[in-house]
Structure 1
Amino acid sequence: MAQPSAANRQSTLAAPDTIAQPFSRRSLLRGALMATGALAVPSFLTGCSSSSGGSGGGKTVSIGSNAAIPEPKGAYQTLFNQVQQTTGLTVNVNWVDHNTFQQNITTYLQGNPQDVFSWFAGERMQFFAAQGLLSNVDDVWAKIGANYTDAMKAQSKGADGHYYFVPFDYYPWAVYYSKSLWASKGYTAPTTWDDFIALAKKMKGDGLIPMAFTDKDGWPAMGTFDYLNMRINGYDFHIDLMRNGTKWNTPQVKAVFDQWRELIPYYSPGFLGLTWQEGAQQLLNKQAGMMVLGLDQIGTIFTGAQADDLGFFAFPEINPTYGQDSVEAPIDGFMMSRSPKNKAGAQSVLEYLGTAAAQQLWLGSNPADIATASGVDTTKYTAPQAASVQLIQGAKHLSQFMDRDTRPDFADPVMLPAIQQFLNNPDGAAGILSNIDKQAKTIWASNG
């Protein structure tokens, strides 16, 4: 399902089933405007279903899906067909592209949403739970709880301790590369920052773009910030920064941007004008040596026979105190609206979606993610999927991604343009951090 968040993450549509330009994630500013009535909600992001029939009660359950593009829509259609067979319910799906769904989520939830809908774990879930826009799904978890680890359970709860989220899939962010290119050049994966920079220099000397970095859409750079901050200042500092909005104008965060400056000379030429797809193609075409991205994105570029050529390593250690103990692993899943027309049916659908069988079926058509439930046959995973499981299970901490770990009215409206401003003018970091700090304090003070 994308980050980011999601994800999240691949393409945007002007209307259901109509492909348009790459997803930008500039969602929350527009969402805030719509909450005040400044923008209208598109007619297709309402309680009506794109399938025949109404949401109703009894044997019909409505689902709001953010997967209108051909893939992963096809994988979800297969899944929802199986939902009908397994539960005996009629499932009506409102297909909306990811970007439009995310941009309009606040007004959608305040209006007449579907019974069940796609969304993300982390602060993005807790934010709406705290506003009373969701139904808790404690009864669902009473049946699916054995399928999940304690870490997944924690990611599915609101601040009040109730469950509001059923995890479905997730994926790591890491440093990706072409195995065959690396084998031909004799490169080995670095574990420390010094080795990372030395490898980038070697790649540049070999005529490669060391880092396929692109940030036209703004959100891809957030993953690099998150890793730099967790590697330098630790997971606890990072999450505190995301959740509380304090400490932005501090030596700790300044150190993140200072470290980042070392990478910029190794980035793709014109990176602020390139989409992540263009960067991933540089990697696929062996023009670039490395790329910091999520499997959910790059796994859609390295497909078929090329999938096993996709390798990755954990973002390198900077501060030995924290090593490589944290992994960015956004979790996607499903939630229930606050007043579902068919609550019992919605619970049955969520119970099925919380099983290994459901997730395995979906992954059969969408091998760019990994399942959240235990019991999935991992022998059917691609090499990148199997390696992703090892990376995530070996982590001490899991973060969700900047635009999921912090407030929705701060991530995109403030941080997205601020990071782009820094990347365009690294010498202006001090002023940028001062401005971020002022905006953060205003947002947290005015909204609680």
Structure 2
Amino acid sequence: MTDRSATTTSNSRRCISRRALGAAVAVLGMAAAITLPTGVYAADEQTLVVNSDRSGAGQKAAMNKIAADFEAKNPGVKVTINYSDVESYKTSIRNFLVTNPPDVAFWFTGARMKTFTKRNLFDDMSGFFAENNLTNVMKPWLPAVSEGDKQYMMPTNFTTWGFFYNKQVFEKVGVAPPATWDELMAAAAKIKASGVTPFTIGTRDLWANALWFDYLDMRMNGLDFHMQLMDGKASYTDPRVKAVFAKWGEPIGKGYFLDNASSYGWQEAIPFLAQGKAAMYLLGPYVLTSLPAEAHGNIGFFPFPVIDPSVPKAEEISVNGVTIPSGAKNKPLARSFLAFLAQPDNLKAFALGGAVLPARTDVDITGDAFAQSQMALAKNAQGSAQFYDRDTDPEMAQVGMKGFQEFLANPKRSDTVLERLEAARQRIFK
């Protein structure tokens, strides 16, 4: 999820291109195998420590099985996995990378990765991909784990984003998944009139609200301008950004969002959707992984609607990964474990356990309808960004997301918020 710091030097270094994703999809369904050394570690080198923020039931179960299978192939090896919820992990990783680094650590890519690579806290993994025949099958996602010509993480999965909706609410009110902004606003008006909140959201964690800004900016102003803004090369007081806030202010002013959104974490806002008290949530597949399986059948999905048909339809596509900290005690064992994790069946199980997509081009996902729909969304994207706080400087991201939270609570403060963001941009990107 993206909480998703210097930015990359070009759009191509942090955007998954349509061509690359098309190539990835074109070869889905083929299987590949990696031969790993087994039983080669001495008795005093057997403990592998993994810190993970992938604590959802599906991914946790998948990772536990992968660890058990790795132990079985390497007699004497013990894999210890420390799970943490993602919000706590964002704080703890800043400490454990310095004070007590594990052998393997999961984290976000892009600007979030660079927060730590600038401090030399992630190992250089550049040779890992060629050594394990992963360069080609992971090629579309390597820019997200690269800084210059070096790679510092192994991509594990990528996440798509959009509107999850309550099918029963839509059917009762008589609306269909909208394809345009005007249709979305018309649907929201009917839903509001029926006594249901159109949009649930929890902004206490800040990041979820940034998704609205990203999509509105990309749909109205295009990907190139959006990335200029992320790079600090465009102004937050630019009329184009003010237009984004004006468009965003329309549903806010009409009371279409959950009241007191800042009092809820992103996950705490999901029950409103599941219970039919709210109709839609602009978020990622964490909506599904946060709900019991029996609730999934009532949850549908549609992409963020078109606002200006002349603007190419870019999507938000976030890449997650795993790294070997510079201070890891068992780096050879860690590399073997990551190579094992990267095997097609393992990466597929791990990714689909979290309702996300595996970062390999040769994994067969034909048996998962939701995964296929998300792959199609990525394939058809006319360019992509990762996420606000993965694409811009981390300090700028924090100021920006606090501003978005304030704007949702009081849209009349739009000019004040944008002026504050612009002052921060000038200071941070000077």
State the SS of the aligned residue for 1:276.
coil
**Structure 1 residues 242 and 116: alpha-carbon distance in aligned structure 2, compared to 1, 3 A threshold:** same
**Structure 1 residues 286 and 4: alpha-carbon distance in aligned structure 2, compared to 1, 3 A threshold:** same
Residues 162-241 of structure 1: pairs in structure 2 closer than 5 A: 162-241=150-229
Which residue in the other structure is 2:397 paired with?
Answer: 411
Residues 250-399 of structure 1: pairs in structure 2 closer than 5 A: 250-264=238-252, 265=254, 266-295=256-285, 297-323=286-312, 325-363=313-351, 366-381=353-368, 383-399=369-385
Q: How far, CA to CA, are the matches of 2:218 and 2:257 in structure 1?
A: 21
Q: How far, CA to CA, are the matches of 1:93 and 1:301 in structure 2?
A: 21
Q: Deviations over 1:14-42 (max 9, x none)?
A: xxxxxxxxxxxxxxxxxxxxxxxxxxxxx
Which residue in the other structure is 1:431 paired with?
Answer: 416
Checking the alignment, whether the CA contact within 8 Å between 2:97 and 2:327 is kept in structure 1 is no
In the alignment, is residue 127 of structure 1 matched against residue 115 of structure 2? yes
Q: How far, CA to CA, are the matches of 2:292 and 2:72 in structure 1?
A: 30
Residue 278 of structure 1 and its aligned partner are, at CA, apart by: 4.0
**Structure 1 residues 394 and 70: alpha-carbon distance in aligned structure 2, compared to 1, 3 A threshold:** closer
**Structure 1 residues 253 and 57: alpha-carbon distance in aligned structure 2, compared to 1, 3 A threshold:** farther
Checking the alignment, whether the CA contact within 8 Å between 1:422 and 1:428 is kept in structure 2 is yes
**Structure 1 residues 87 and 163: alpha-carbon distance in aligned structure 2, compared to 1, 3 A threshold:** farther
Residue 186 of structure 1 and its aligned partner are, at CA, apart by: 3.4
Higher relative contact order (CA 8 A, sep 6+): 2
Deviates more, 1:84-93 or 1:224-233: 84-93
State the SS of the aligned residue for 2:315.
strand
Residue 86 of structure 1 and its aligned partner are, at CA, apart by: 4.2
Q: How far, CA to CA, are the matches of 2:112 and 2:354 in structure 1?
A: 25
In the alignment, is residue 157 of structure 1 matched against residue 146 of structure 2? yes
**Structure 1 residues 57 and 315: alpha-carbon distance in aligned structure 2, compared to 1, 3 A threshold:** farther
Q: How far, CA to CA, are the matches of 1:70 and 1:259 in structure 2?
A: 38
Which residue in the other structure is 2:28 paired with?
Answer: none
State the SS of the aligned residue for 2:150.
coil
State the SS of the aligned residue for 1:387.
helix
Amino acid of the structure 2 residue aligned with 1:121:
T
**Structure 1 residues 106 and 269: alpha-carbon distance in aligned structure 2, compared to 1, 3 A threshold:** closer
**Structure 1 residues 441 and 215: alpha-carbon distance in aligned structure 2, compared to 1, 3 A threshold:** same
Checking the alignment, whether the CA contact within 8 Å between 1:328 and 1:400 is kept in structure 2 is yes
Amino acid of the structure 2 residue aligned with 1:369:
V
In the alignment, is residue 64 of structure 1 matched against residue 76 of structure 2? no
What is the TM-score when the length of structure 2 is the normalising length?
Answer: 0.83
Which residue in the other structure is 2:39 paired with?
Answer: none
Which residue in the other structure is 2:30 paired with?
Answer: none
**Structure 1 residues 276 and 121: alpha-carbon distance in aligned structure 2, compared to 1, 3 A threshold:** same
In the alignment, is residue 243 of structure 1 matched against residue 242 of structure 2? no
Q: Deviations over 1:108-166 (max 9, x none)?
A: 33344112210111111133223322212122211212322x431222211x2111121
Checking the alignment, whether the CA contact within 8 Å between 2:173 and 2:190 is kept in structure 1 is no
Q: How far, CA to CA, are the matches of 1:278 and 1:69 in structure 2?
A: 15
Residue 184 of structure 1 and its aligned partner are, at CA, apart by: 4.1
Q: Deviations over 1:203-233 (max 9, x none)?
A: 2233322222332332211111111111111
Q: Deviations over 1:316-374 (max 9, x none)?
A: 11222324x2221222210111243222212111212222211223246x243222223
Deviates more, 1:200-209 or 1:248-257: 200-209
Q: How far, CA to CA, are the matches of 1:317 and 1:294 in structure 2?
A: 18
Q: How far, CA to CA, are the matches of 2:427 and 2:96 in structure 1?
A: 26
**Structure 1 residues 120 and 341: alpha-carbon distance in aligned structure 2, compared to 1, 3 A threshold:** same
Checking the alignment, whether the CA contact within 8 Å between 2:58 and 2:289 is kept in structure 1 is no
Q: How far, CA to CA, are the matches of 1:98 and 1:310 in structure 2?
A: 23
Q: How far, CA to CA, are the matches of 1:107 and 1:214 in structure 2?
A: 27
Residue 302 of structure 1 and its aligned partner are, at CA, apart by: 4.0
- Structure 1: unaligned runs, 5 residues or longer: 6-55
Q: CA RMSD in A?
A: 2.5
**Structure 1 residues 58 and 377: alpha-carbon distance in aligned structure 2, compared to 1, 3 A threshold:** same
**Structure 1 residues 198 and 69: alpha-carbon distance in aligned structure 2, compared to 1, 3 A threshold:** closer
Checking the alignment, whether the CA contact within 8 Å between 1:61 and 1:91 is kept in structure 2 is yes
Checking the alignment, whether the CA contact within 8 Å between 2:122 and 2:152 is kept in structure 1 is yes
Checking the alignment, whether the CA contact within 8 Å between 2:225 and 2:234 is kept in structure 1 is no
Identity %: 28
Amino acid of the structure 2 residue aligned with 1:348:
S
